[in-house]
Structure 1
């Protein structure tokens, strides 16, 4: 059965490409992804209810539409209201995946609240489709808040850290 992370990554890739429809079938499982204006709302509703995608029978086609980043911006609204400061920079997830605060369970976390970071400091890892991607701070400053938990699934564009820029 397709994992929700794999489906989300496919949606993201198709959204960035020029193809309008994608079909894949393997061992009786089938997925159909279509990109067009009329089905964006339908895709948003399906993305909001991932259980519906996971419980679909293998022979049934799942047709989510790719939306640029509207679902990913929804969780950011409470953070913006909570911390309104011109000097705060949000480090956002560049992809859908799993957030890891350290390179392995036995090693210490990359950063903690109060740590100083530079532009090229690695702050976390996002695992997407078995690839571990190191995420850099992209700004000099101090970590003010860590917005996600270790092992949590994150969306494209979801804020991960708040950094007080220097």
Structure 2
């Protein structure tokens, strides 16, 4: 179950992004964040004592491009949730919600690319969350087989980022 501070951080991230709706489910808990000018947060859990958390979102101007962005987002989710399923490959997953960066700066070379050898604790990417840049390290020694996300893409907690052929 997420703590109230983590929920507040999620609200701020969604507010600053172009995402209009965000859903998160884990162990019977469900969080839905929407940016449509009305109630911004609903929180449900299997426990009988949980109270809903409702926050007033700033008004959002209705525009046709926003509707098109909502139509495109399910396709993006399908692409990111359909990585190659190979039991021998280790998945490096995102430890947080944030923006994925493959390099330390826009003009720098990517930390890793397919075919590169990585060692345990070598930096493979950066995830920006709440204006903090967090270096993500490989948990295993091996070879990068595939990069599953694109530079600048918003990633979710637990989302696979890389496939690594462990040694």
Q: Could you say which TM-score interval applies, normalised by the shorter chain?
A: 0.5 to 0.7
- Structure 2: tracts of 5 or more residues without a match: 9-27, 47-77
CA contact 2:80–2:148 (8 Å) conserved in 1 = no
**1:84 matched to which residue of 2?**
86
TM-score for both structures, normalised by structure 1: 0.60
Shift of 1:13: 3.9
Say if 1:102 and 1:120 are closer, same or farther in 2 by CA, change over 3 A: same
Counterpart in the other structure of 2:42: 63
Partner of 2:104 in structure 1? 103
Partner of 1:153: 154
Unaligned runs of 5+ in 1: 1-10, 23-38, 48-52, 68-73
SS of the equivalent of 2:42 reads: coil
How many residues are aligned here?
A: 117
Name the residue aligned to 1:112.
Answer: 113
What's the RMSD between the two structures over aligned residues? 3.1
CA contact (8 A) 1:127 1:133 kept: yes
Partner of 2:135: 134
Partner of 1:144: 145
